[in-house]
Amino acid sequence: MNLILASTSKYRRELLERLQLPFQTAKPDVDESPLPGEGAESIATRLSEAKAKAVAAQYPNALIIGSDQVAAVEGRILGKPGTHDKAVEQLRFLSGRTVDFLTGICLHNSTTGQSAGRLVPCRVGFRKLDEQTIERYLRKEQPYDCAASAKAEALGIALLTGIHGEDPSALIGLPLIALVDLLQEQGVSVI
User: What's the rounded Cα separation, in Å, for the pair 8 and 72?
Assistant: 23
Type of residue at 70? V
- Identify the CA nearest to 141 among candidates 191, 91, 101: 91
How far apart CA 188 and CA 97 sit, in angstroms, is: 40
> What 3-state class would DSSP assign to 141?
helix
Assess whether 130 carries a catalytic annotation.
no
CA distance 100 to 131: 23
CA distances 9 to 100, 145, 173, 184, Å, are 21, 10, 9, 24
Task: Please give the Cα distance from 127 to 162 (Å, whole number).
Answer: 9
65 has which bridge partners? Answer: 5, 107
* CA distance between the termini of the chain: 17
Catalytic residue (one of 29, 68, 100, 167)? 68
Give catalytic residue positions.
68
